[in-house]
Amino acid sequence: MNDAQARSGSIYRADERGYFGEFGGAVLPPFLVEPMAEVAAAYEEARRDPAFADELQTLLAKYVGRPSLLYAAENLTRELGGAKVYLKREDLNHTGAHKINHTLGEALLAKRMGKTKVIAETGAGQHGVALATAAALVGLECEIHMGAIDVEKQHPNVVRMELLGATVVPVERGGRSLKEAVDSAFEVYAGAPDEYLFAIGSVVGPHPFPTMVRDFQSVVGREARAQILEAEGRLPDALVACVGGGSNAMGLFDAFLEDESVRIIGVEPAGEGLDTDRHAATMTRGVTGEIHGMRTKVLLTADGEPAPVHSIGSGIDYPGVGPQHAHLEQIGRAEYVSVTDEEALRAFQLLTRTEGIIPALESSHAIAHVVRLAPTLSEDAIVIANLSGRGDKDVDFVAERLQKG
């Protein structure tokens, strides 16, 4: 433990420069140093103000519909044999996933800072829709940069964002995909940091985002911890969550970090296999490097660029990972495993058929690991899996894919 961590009291908190051990920080070009420092200072102040937490808590209760259920999946438990499986039902939130928990927090912070607009990039469009929703509610303008290829591929999400009042900016340069959308959004932001808050979509990017987004999502684990104590009178044996950037996972894990009897397991996309170049298993196959303003694990090409990645779950195909995950693994507090597209697809079908719950393909990765884990544990064991989102968005794709066989 270094001095800063000793002062903040926990190895699970970043130091004042935003480092979790050797991971994190704010590795930024000069033009972004000042605006990000301003966000960090504003968040630090908001975090200490009970009125800010109250306002967010009220929106989470009255608008999102929290607390979300902790559902005992008895049919799935019977089917798998072994540990009792509970699902934290983030799919039941307004907008159908966990992302609304942090976009509301970001929108409230933007207002508090006197900004009139939020800006972000989006890939598949899920972050863009969640941010546009929060902006509509809180009364902010919203500008979403999106690669021109994604604009075509994700048409329904573009329509949703526009209906919600957001401006969608198609990015035509270079590969016309997420990478260019990030650059484009940051350029606009750098030109007018007084007007905008840059709203990052996961526990990634420069400090304070890995801490701030985790804090906004930590309601998931606080609820789950109270709910399992109420239902079973004890803590679970294991937590399982899918990891793209890692926000739904950190949200579930955070409240249990000090409970050393609880195993913590993050599940990454192995895509078409770890030995192909079609996966996004950053923790499993990545190296320490820099991406998007942070020091973390990264998947790189031979010439040191962020690698093209793939997953059947479009929200988890990211070549980096939240720095706290890299740290949790390094200190031995969490383990990271991976699940292929095929396994996720089978888990999607299994949960749908046994429980009548259609999970997002991202969340299906967590379920797929539960399918492996539960039978290895005794019937007294308890596993909580985070059902990060609902799968309505995926049904056409899955139907097509199953038809192809």
Active site residues: 99, 121, 388
Q: One symbol per residue from 297 to 326: x for binding ligand PLP (CB under 6 A), - otherwise; what is it?
A: ------------------xx----------
Q: Which residue is nearest to ligand PLP (CB)?
A: 389
C-beta of 154 vs 388, nearer to ligand PLP? 388
The residue range among 60-68, 114-122, 231-239, 359-367 that interacts with ligand PLP, by the rule CB under 6 A, is 359-367
Distance CA(239)–CA(225), nearest Å, equals 11
According to CB under 6 A, which residues from 243 to 272 bind ligand PLP? 243-248
C-beta of 77 vs 202, nearer to ligand PLP? 202
Distance CA(339)–CA(225), nearest Å, equals 26
Distance CA(226)–CA(231), nearest Å, equals 9
- Taking CB under 6 A as the criterion, the residue among 84, 99, 117, 145 binding ligand PLP is 99
Question: What is the nearest approach in angstroms of ligand PLP to the Cβ of residue 210?
Answer: 11
C-beta of 5 vs 311, nearer to ligand PLP? 311
- Enumerate residues 6+ apart whose C-beta is below 8 A from 105: 56, 212, 213, 215, 216
Q: Exposed/middle/buried for 37, CB within 10 Å: 0-12, 13-18, 19+?
A: middle
- Taking CB under 6 A as the criterion, the residue among 326, 363, 364, 367 binding ligand PLP is 363
- Taking CB under 6 A as the criterion, the residue among 5, 122, 202, 282 binding ligand PLP is 202
Q: One symbol per residue from 381 to 400: x for binding ligand PLP (CB under 6 A), - otherwise; what is it?
A: -------xx-----------
Question: What is the nearest approach in angstroms of ligand PLP to the Cβ of residue 251?
Answer: 8
Question: What is the nearest approach in angstroms of ligand PLP to the Cβ of residue 390?
Answer: 8
Question: What is the nearest approach in angstroms of ligand PLP to the Cβ of residue 79?
Answer: 23
C-beta of 126 vs 218, nearer to ligand PLP? 126
Q: Which amino acid is at 386?
A: N
According to CB under 6 A, which residues from 122 to 161 bind ligand PLP? 126
C-beta of 36 vs 242, nearer to ligand PLP? 242
C-beta of 20 vs 55, nearer to ligand PLP? 20
Q: Which amino acid is at 132?
A: A
- Taking CB under 6 A as the criterion, the residue among 132, 224, 242, 328 binding ligand PLP is 242
C-beta of 5 vs 338, nearer to ligand PLP? 338
The answer to whether the beta carbons of residues 35 and 190 sit under 8 Å apart is: yes
Buried b (16+ CB within 10 A) or exposed e, 9-32: eebbebbeebbbbebbbbbbeeeb
Position 338 contacts ligand PLP (CB under 6 A): no
Q: One symbol per residue from 57 to 96: x for binding ligand PLP (CB under 6 A), - otherwise; what is it?
A: ----------------------------------------
* Cβ neighbour number for residue 335 with a 10 Å cutoff: 14
C-beta of 45 vs 392, nearer to ligand PLP? 392
Question: What is the nearest approach in angstroms of ligand PLP to the Cβ of residue 266?
Answer: 9
Question: What is the nearest approach in angstroms of ligand PLP to the Cβ of residue 90?
Answer: 7
The site for ligand PLP (CB under 6 A) is made up of 97, 99, 126, 202, 242-248, 315-316, 360, 362-363, 388-389
